[in-house]
Amino acid sequence: MDFSFFNQLMMILAMSVATIALFHRLNLPESLGYLTVGIVLGPTASGFIDSSFDITLLAEIGVVFLLFTLGLEFSFKRIKSMKREVFGLGGTQVLLCGAGIFFALMILQSPTKEALIVAAALALSSTAIVSKELTQSNKIRSRQGQLAIGVLLFQDIAAVLFLILVPALAGSEGNSMVTTIGMALTKGLIFVLVMTAVGKWFMPAIFNEVARVRSEELFVLTALMIALMAAWLTHILGLSMALGGFVAGMMLGESNYKHQVEADIRPFRDILLGLFFVSVGLMLDLDILARYWPAVLLGTLSLILFKLGVITMLARLMDEKKPTSFKTALSLSQGGEFCFALIALATQYGQTGGEKASIVLAVTILSMMVAPLLIRNSDRLSNLLYREQQKARIDDNVVRATQQVEHLNSHTLICGYGRVGQTISRFLSQEKIPFVALDDDPLHVHEAGLAGEPVFYGDCRRLELLESLGVARARQVIVCIDNSASALVIVQTIRSKYPDVPILVRTRDDSLSNELKAAGTTAVIPEVLESSLMIVKHVLIMLGMDRQQVRDKITAAREQHYDILSGFYPGYEDLLIEQGQNALRHAVTIPAQCDSVGQSIDRLPIEEGATVVEVKRKEQVLSNEQCGEIQAGDILILSGSLGALQQSEKNLI
pLDDT band at 71 (very low <50, low <70, confident <90, very high): confident
Torsion of CA 489, 490, 491, 496, to 10 degrees: 90
Query: Residue 146 and residue 134: Cα distance in Å, rounded?
Result: 10
Q: Please state whether beta strands 635-640 and 584-589 pair in parallel, antiparallel, or not at all (unpaired).
A: antiparallel
Please name the residues in contact with 386: beta carbons below 8 A apart, sequence gap of 6 or more: 322, 323, 326
Query: Residue 650 and residue 215: Cα distance in Å, rounded?
Result: 48
Query: Is 368 a residue whose pLDDT tops 70?
Result: yes
3-state secondary structure of 349: coil
**Sign, Cα dihedral of 104, 109, 113, 118:** negative
Among 45-54, 56-65, 185-194, 568-577, the range with the most confident prediction by mean pLDDT is 185-194
**Sign, Cα dihedral of 305, 311, 312, 314:** positive
* pLDDT value of position 569: 45
Long-range contacts, stretch 193-197, CB < 8 angstroms, 24+ apart: 195/230, 195/247, 195/248, 195/250, 195/251, 196/247, 196/250, 196/251
Query: Residue 371 and residue 364: Cα distance in Å, rounded?
Result: 10
Query: Is 564 a residue whose pLDDT tops 50?
Result: no
Burial letters 240-261, b for 16+ CB under 10 A, else e: bbbbbbbbbbbbbbbbebeebb
According to CATH, what is the number of the domain 572-652? 3.30.70.1450
* pLDDT value of position 574: 43
Helix intervals (H) in 377-441: 378-385, 387-405, 419-430
Q: Please determine, looking at this structure, whether the domain spanning 80-383 carries the CATH number 1.20.1530.20.
A: yes
* pLDDT value of position 559: 62
Query: Is 272 a residue whose pLDDT tops 50?
Result: yes
- For range 465-470, the mean pLDDT: 84
Query: Is 156 a residue whose pLDDT tops 80?
Result: no
Maximum pairwise Cα distance, the chain: 95
* pLDDT value of position 553: 79
- For range 387-402, the mean pLDDT: 57
pLDDT, mean over the chain: 77
Model confidence pLDDT, tens digit, residues 163-200: 777 766 665 554 556 666 677 677 777 877 787 777 77
* pLDDT value of position 77: 61
Model confidence pLDDT, tens digit, residues 86-103: 888 888 999 999 899 999
* pLDDT value of position 304: 92
Query: Residue 137 and residue 118: Cα distance in Å, rounded?
Result: 31
Q: Residue 600, class by beta-carbon neighbours within 10 Å (0-12 exposed, 13-18 middle, 19+ buried)?
A: exposed
Model confidence pLDDT, tens digit, residues 525-555: 877 667 777 777 777 777 788 888 888 877 7
* pLDDT value of position 372: 79
pLDDT band at 423 (very low <50, low <70, confident <90, very high): confident
Model confidence pLDDT, tens digit, residues 202-236: 777 787 787 777 777 888 888 888 888 888 887 78
pLDDT: which is higher, 473 or 507: 473
Domain 389-521 -> CATH class: alpha beta
* pLDDT value of position 301: 92
Query: Is 305 a residue whose pLDDT tops 90?
Result: yes
Closest CA to 461 of 498, 412, 494: 494
* pLDDT value of position 354: 64
* pLDDT value of position 476: 92
* pLDDT value of position 387: 65
